[in-house]
Structure 1
Amino acid sequence: MSSKLLNKEDVNKALEKSLSDIFENDRFKDMLNVMAHANNYSLNNTILIVAQKPNATQVMGFNDWRKMGRSVSKGEKAIKILAPYMKETEMEKIDPATSKPVLKEGKPVIEKVKFPVGYFQVNVFDVAQTQGKEISNVNDFIKYNMKNDEYIEKVYGDYKKFLTETKGLEINEKETEKGVGGSYNRVTNEIIVSVNENRNNTEKFHVLIHEYAHSLLHHKDSEMKNLPRGHREAQAESTAYVVSQYYGLDTSDTSIGYIAHWAKDMKVAKKALEEIQVVSSTMIDEIDRMQKENIKSFYVDQSKSYEEAKKHLVDYHQLSEKVFNPKNKQETRLELINKENGYILSGVIEYNQKEENHYIRTNRNLIEPLSEISKEGNLAVLNIEKELDQLKEFSLHSRIPEHYEVVEVKGAYIIQSSNGQDVISKSFSNKDEADEFYKRSSMAQALHKNTMIEKDKHHDQLKDNIQTVRQDIREQVNTSVSEYINTYDKKKMFRPTGTHGVTIGWTLLKNPHLKTVGDLEKFEKENKLNPSYRDLGEALGASVNENSKKEKMKVLVVEEEYEKTQ
């Protein structure tokens, strides 16, 4: 398909070709899988997704992934789906009861109406094409519960009761002939679930869905009641497969016959798929509503983490509550640490009108939910860099070496604030790993502050003492770099000078395998032509030379003291 606006004929040709490819390449189960996992898309877009990425499980647009804290991996090819192009026009309002124009004071009422005039392509991506924050959603929560036989026994029992009381079905469990898991009688509207052919509640649940599909599609007044038996069975089993897949139930024994006949006529095939999608969506909606209390508890937990994060920012970090006013337009920025890898980043608090909550947009342009800075989240707040557009005094900033320490808790090691209220790392099995995280994070924080003071447009608020602040931050950088290297290099004490610590520090952060002066010198020789490291040689030379002078002075002092004692 081209990038121009597509008309209905273009779309139908593309869909027919994609659907034909699905059948010819034996991807019918892929179609059902995507229908189960990406059930928020129309059938047409589901067909297009399967044709381009048959193993897709969760599909969203670029910006939606960013809001979830994930980014599309470099080099990934977008999945092209369709969105209608709507045009607005003025028309006479028609009374649906009389099919005549609505009149007011004898004149027709005019209303604005939107209608599609064509379709344009939209780029979406599967979760496998993205990277970033792990996603926790309600469907995963329900799937986890469904693995428990007692839980699914309750869902199965509740669903039987719901169908009996609201759909006029009679549902009974009886012994059946060998090989017959269940049946539906359209004359009596009775569903039978076999007690001898189904081994557990999961199988009974699957059979109930299958037979309920028959009752919705092939009841006595249905236009489809006289379709070939194979067609009807394929529809019912496909529906059961979609619903079972949605809830993470075992579908390995599912065998769907007859679909080869659908492949001979794309109109018949598409009609069958439309019916499967409608019926399976109906069932999923009904079953989810039965589990509303469990689903509600999931969202309560999510909301709890969000509220915990807000409270932590206000109570512990003294952030103004005005920051969380939806009408606030002034920027508030946090200094954050990733508990998993020790990266330091800036995050701006912004308000999402659609979701009606706040989130964090990082300087790497990733979207992180505010709940990520709750106790169980993957981010911790080190400092408030800027509040309501006012740059914070640097003297108030918490520095890792001064405010945090490696602490042993129940046989594991964490980096915790001295008052014990804030943890800024994951847990480590040994102290050396925790110390490595502590020292690298200290270095990363100092480098982050250096970048911020050099680039921030508002640092003129500190104009009276900007040089003192700059010098203080460079001293932090040089100290953290020397402490990191001297942990691994015992032969000589290493100390950067001036701005050279910034050059060396960023080299160490970008290349975690570099530990000693020798490592750095070897790396510099191998990367002489790399523009990113063009100043590294000068930085190392200045630092080492300065240290050599200090070492010589120490030797002279020691010798003088020794001679005085003789």
Structure 2
Amino acid sequence: MSTREQERTERLAQMQEQLTGAVDALVSSADWRRAMAFAARFRSRSFNNTLLIWSQHLSAFEQGRAPEPVPSYVAGYRQWASLGRNVRHGEPGYKIYAPLKVRMASRTPDDASSWRRLAPGEKPEPGEVVRRRAARMKPAYVWDVSLTTGAAIPPRPAPQLLAGEAPPGLWDGLAGLVEDHGYTVQPARSAVELGGANGMTDYLARTVLVRDDMDPAARVKTLAHELGHVLLHGPDHSDAAAHRGISEVEAESVALMVAAAHDLDTSDYTVPYVSIWATRVPGTEPGEVVKATGERVRRTAVAILDALPTQQVSDGDPPGLRHKPTTVPATPTRVAAAAPELPVGRDRLPATGPVL
């Protein structure tokens, strides 16, 4: 192993240790709601990278290097430079995971087993298709805007809402996504009709019911929760039936992220204490349950948000930042039912690779 490879391996080991610490802290605390709200504002990155940014920025704040405990925009060194800003001298940056891509070639691209890796400088044979694929992960570095100097960053417009008001177009957008999956949205006169609940998804009747006697903000939050059930759960998802508690955590967390992305108040969300649901999957470590659940929630919420025509808060990327898209965006009229398979985001592997 070369010195460079050894250094990369050591950095990855340090990052894994830091990520494990952040996950363990979630398991032993009641901070899941805060973590989901934070992830909504940095949703362009994987859940694991969100946790790494969260913990490292908090350390920078405690050391007096960052003025606020929560970051606003994060980007890489060259990305900040492209926006006319420079990283402050001596700032080490926040380590995150990034895919190390290699060139793959095949004459029959539809056959997954036919792809071969090209060596550096190797040219493909005549008739071969070449694509870049993620081979493994490498450390990458990002900095919060507070750790940079230079040209001003224009503020991104955020929804301005009165108490109880719903963002314009959010109800219609969510209802349209529910209907795209073969369900109808129906009103319920009160919680009595729903057994005390605010909403209910009937998988057999293909209906989603939402209380009609709540304020608009509460109704869109409930509809987002039920859309989470439609996308992630149901009779075709045996795992969801086996782990009912996690199903409710996922649906509520999806709704929380959708609400946070629209600057709606999320203080009233009630997600069970992490240690209650994360420790109830036999044969699986609680930390792995937390990471898998967080990524499923993030991917589902991002797919929903990408399909909505509403005004949303920043996703953590500075305004004006340009990068090559590596995702297949959801269309305005469709969100894939298999939400965890959506390759959403810039810093993670495709659906066929491991999520780090």
Find the counterpart in structure 2 of residue 559 from structure 1: none
Give the SS at the match of 2:140.
strand
- 1:257 and 2:268 matched: no
Q: Are the structure 2 counterparts of residues 186 and 76 from structure 1 closer, same or farther at C-alpha, using a change threshold of 3 Å?
A: same
Find the counterpart in structure 2 of residue 189 from structure 1: 206
Shift of 1:40: 1.2
Find the counterpart in structure 1 of residue 344 from structure 2: none
**Across the two proteins, how many residue pairs are aligned to each other?**
285
- 1:79 and 2:82 matched: no
Shift of 1:111: 5.1
Asked which structure has the greater RCO (Cα within 8 Å, sep 6+), the reply is 2
Find the counterpart in structure 1 of residue 254 from structure 2: 239
Shift of 1:93: 3.1
| Aligned with residue 185 of structure 2, among 171, 176, 179 | 171
Give the SS at the match of 2:236.
coil
Kept after mapping to 2: 8 A contact 1:160/1:171? no
Provide the rounded CA distance (Å) in 1 between the counterparts of 2:217 and 2:287: 34
Matches within 5 A, 1:38-77: 38-53=42-57, 55-73=70-88, 76-77=91-92
Provide the rounded CA distance (Å) in 2 between the counterparts of 1:8 and 1:73: 22
Identity between Structure 1 and Structure 2 (%)? 22
Find the counterpart in structure 2 of residue 136 from structure 1: 154
Amino acid at match of 1:247: H
Amino acid at match of 2:278: W
Instruction: Name stretches of at least 5 consecutive residues in structure 2 with no aligned partner.
Output: 59-69, 117-124, 280-284, 313-318, 325-356
Provide the rounded CA distance (Å) in 2 between the counterparts of 1:101 and 1:253: 50
1:161-186 superposed Cα distances (whole Å, 9 cap, x missing partner):
41354222111121233652212122
Shift of 1:210: 0.7
Instruction: Name stretches of at least 5 consecutive residues in structure 1 with no aligned partner.
Output: 296-301, 304-351, 356-566
Kept after mapping to 2: 8 A contact 1:101/1:109? no
Kept after mapping to 2: 8 A contact 1:181/1:207? yes
Find the counterpart in structure 2 of residue 158 from structure 1: 172
Q: Are the structure 2 counterparts of residues 51 and 223 from structure 1 closer, same or farther at C-alpha, using a change threshold of 3 Å?
A: farther
Amino acid at match of 1:4: E
Find the counterpart in structure 2 of residue 279 from structure 1: 300
Shift of 1:75: 5.8
| TM-score, length of structure 1 as denominator length | 0.44
Amino acid at match of 1:20: D
1:202-261 superposed Cα distances (whole Å, 9 cap, x missing partner):
111111101110111112212333133321111111111111111111111112105213
- 1:126 and 2:122 matched: no
Amino acid at match of 1:210: H
Amino acid at match of 2:225: H
- 1:6 and 2:23 matched: no
Provide the rounded CA distance (Å) in 2 between the counterparts of 1:271 and 1:354: 27
Query: Quick check: which has more Rg, 1 or 2?
Result: 1
Shift of 1:52: 1.8
Amino acid at match of 1:189: R
Find the counterpart in structure 2 of residue 37 from structure 1: 41
Shift of 1:100: 6.0
Provide the rounded CA distance (Å) in 1 between the counterparts of 2:87 and 2:32: 27
Kept after mapping to 2: 8 A contact 1:213/1:239? yes
Provide the rounded CA distance (Å) in 2 between the counterparts of 1:174 and 1:276: 27
Larger relative helix fraction: 1
Kept after mapping to 1: 8 A contact 2:166/2:216? no
Q: Are the structure 2 counterparts of residues 158 and 110 from structure 1 closer, same or farther at C-alpha, using a change threshold of 3 Å?
A: closer
Larger relative strand fraction: 1
- 1:219 and 2:234 matched: yes
Provide the rounded CA distance (Å) in 1 between the counterparts of 2:242 and 2:44: 29
Matches within 5 A, 1:383-422: none
Amino acid at match of 1:6: T
Find the counterpart in structure 1 of residue 342 from structure 2: none
Give the SS at the match of 2:138.
strand
Find the counterpart in structure 2 of residue 512 from structure 1: none
Provide the rounded CA distance (Å) in 2 between the counterparts of 1:211 and 1:92: 42
Q: Are the structure 2 counterparts of residues 67 and 108 from structure 1 closer, same or farther at C-alpha, using a change threshold of 3 Å?
A: closer
Give the SS at the match of 2:169.
helix
Amino acid at match of 1:38: F
Provide the rounded CA distance (Å) in 1 between the counterparts of 2:35 and 2:6: 25
Q: Give the CA RMSD over aligned residues.
A: 3.8
